[in-house]
């Protein structure tokens, strides 16, 4: 009995704890090609290590079953905490849809969701966490209200059109749900902040001897092309050109995307590209991976969902970023199907061990012979 208990505990500990260390330990920060002329010591300190994930979808009280919540949140907590401990990123970005029911949750349910989020995604003082808003956090455009936006901003210190600069790298935070273009109150405020930030960045990238009266009184920012962070992807027709093991399933790839629902509209996408001329765009929302090259050779990476509820093989992006260059690497989490296979194999082995212990695995001939001898006796 003691041996069986030890066997069961060992399997549980491996599948629910150690497997995350085994898998994430294999991930490595990518090397940045640029800056080779700088010494190794100086290069390592000047490179910003950014971890990017998306679509955690913490279940709410309406559609979330308690067992589903327990399982998914444990998986995400172990993955996130293990990644922080092993990889020690400087900054972590979550690209929206943090909650599944933020768009309709009442104050008490919202407070409970926030409490669970802070427990799962707690982080040390050496790491910074930046959370971007998604449609499940405040609702699609027709559900979005000032109250929901302010509620999210209060908890996560989120502001659309906010610039985050770390180690000379500029990140622009966008509320992509507010890029509807219909002049709603939230949309007007959000776009005005983006336009003002665009002006600052463009003035900062001009040469010092460039005479421009419009830039004379503008606060100078680091002259680095920004990285755009948002929930909705920029406009693309579908996922037909996406490839990789974590891209959309073949039956979904050719389904056309709906503007302002699956992706931003063409107009909003062109505005963002024209305003910021980003060197990289990072987005979520589709729950699948995709790499797109937009006009002007601007790459966009769609980050797949971090929750096993949305896919069998969640992952996150590891980015090594400098003011002039970046390099990205994907880190896969344990496949849920493999964990399930381990449990099934362990269960079958457990049954065999129990049957062997009670001598019930004897071949049928000897079993019948033993019954006959007992009957004769």
The reported pLDDT for the residue numbered 377 is 58
Query: Do residues 96 and 190 both lie within one domain?
Result: yes
Do residues 55 and 95 both lie within one domain?
A: yes
How far, in Å, CA of 259 to CA of 313, rounded? Answer: 27
Domain limits at 224?
Answer: 1-26+45-334
**Which CATH number does the domain housing residue 72 bear?**
3.60.21.10
In a domain, 37, yes or no: no
State the average pLDDT over residues 314-340: 95
Q: Within this chain, do residues 7 and 155 fall inside the same structural domain, yes or no?
A: yes
Judge whether residue 209 has pLDDT over 60.
no
Pair 255, 167 in one domain: yes
Tokens 């709603």 belong to 184
Model-wide pTM > 0.85: yes
- Average the pLDDT over 165-175 and give the result: 95
Q: Categorize the per-residue pLDDT at 371 as very low, low, confident or very high, splitting at 50, 70 and 90.
A: low
In terms of domains, do 96 and 10 share one? yes
> Where residue 210 falls among pLDDT bands split at 50, 70, 90?
low
> CA dist 242 to 250, 300, 334, 335, 362, Å?
10, 12, 22, 21, 55
CA 196 to chain CA mean position, Å: 28
pLDDT in tens, 4-29: 889 999 999 999 999 999 999 999 99
Q: Is the pLDDT of residue 42 over 50?
A: no
pLDDT band at 2 (very low <50, low <70, confident <90, very high): confident
Q: Does residue 215 sit in the same domain as residue 360?
A: no
Q: Number of structural domains, the chain?
A: 2
pLDDT digits (tens, 9 = 90+) for 261-308: 999 999 999 999 999 999 999 999 999 999 999 988 999 999 999 999
Residues 314 and 360 in one domain: no
Same domain, 328 and 353: no
Q: Residue-wise over 123-150: b if at least 16 C-beta within 10 A, else e?
A: eeeeeebbbbbbbbbbbebeebeeebbe
Q: What percent of the chain has pLDDT over 70?
A: 90
348 and 269 within one domain: no
Sequence-ordered list of residues with C-beta below 8 angstroms from that of 33, at least 6 positions apart, any chain: 325, 327
Tens of pLDDT, residues 133-150: 999 999 998 889 999 999
Mean of pLDDT over the chain: 89
pLDDT score of 38 more than 60: no
């Amino acid at each position: 009995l003691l041996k069986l208990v030890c066997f069961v505990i060992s399997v549980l500990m491996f599948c629910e704890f150690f497997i995350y260390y085994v898998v994430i330990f294999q991930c490595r920060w990518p090397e940045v090609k640029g800056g080779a002329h700088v010494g190794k010591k100086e290069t390592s300190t000047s490179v910003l290590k950014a971890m990017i994930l998306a679509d955690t979808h913490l279940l709410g009280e309406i559609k979330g079953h308690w067992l589903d919540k327990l399982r998914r949140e444990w998986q995400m907590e172990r993955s996130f905490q293990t990644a922080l401990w092993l990889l020690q990123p400087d900054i972590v970005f979550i690209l929206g849809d943090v909650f599944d029911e933020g768009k309709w949750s009442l104050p008490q349910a919202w407070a409970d969701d926030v409490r669970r989020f802070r427990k799962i995604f707690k982080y040390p003082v050496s790491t910074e966490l930046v959370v971007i808003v998604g449609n499940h956090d405040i609702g699609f455009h027709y559900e979005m209200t000032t109250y929901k936006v302010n509620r999210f901003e209060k908890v996560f210190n989120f502001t659309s059109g906010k610039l985050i600069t770390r180690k000379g790298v500029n990140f622009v935070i966008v509320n992509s749900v507010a890029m509807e273009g219909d002049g709603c109150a939230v949309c007007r405020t959000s776009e005005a902040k983006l336009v003002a930030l665009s002006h600052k960045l463009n003035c900062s990238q001009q040469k010092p001897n460039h005479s421009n009266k419009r830039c004379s009184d503008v606060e100078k920012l680091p002259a680095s092309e920004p990285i755009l962070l948002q929930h909705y992807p920029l406009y693309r027709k579908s996922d037909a050109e996406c490839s990789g093991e974590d891209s959309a399933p073949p039956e979904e790839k050719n389904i056309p995307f709906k503007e302002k629902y699956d992706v931003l509209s063409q107009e909003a996408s062109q505005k963002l590209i024209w305003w910021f001329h980003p060197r990289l765009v990072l987005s979520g929302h589709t729950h699948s991976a995709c790499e797109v090259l937009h006009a002007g050779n601007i790459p966009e990476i769609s980050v797949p969902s971090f929750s096993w509820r949305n896919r069998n093989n969640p992952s996150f992006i590891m980015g090594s970023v400098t003011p002039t260059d970046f390099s990205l690497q994907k880190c896969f989490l344990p496949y849920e199907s493999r964990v399930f296979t381990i449990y099934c194999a362990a269960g079958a082995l457990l049954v065999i061990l129990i049957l062997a212990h009670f001598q019930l695995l004897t071949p049928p001939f000897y079993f019948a012979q033993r019954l006959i001898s007992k009957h004769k006796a």
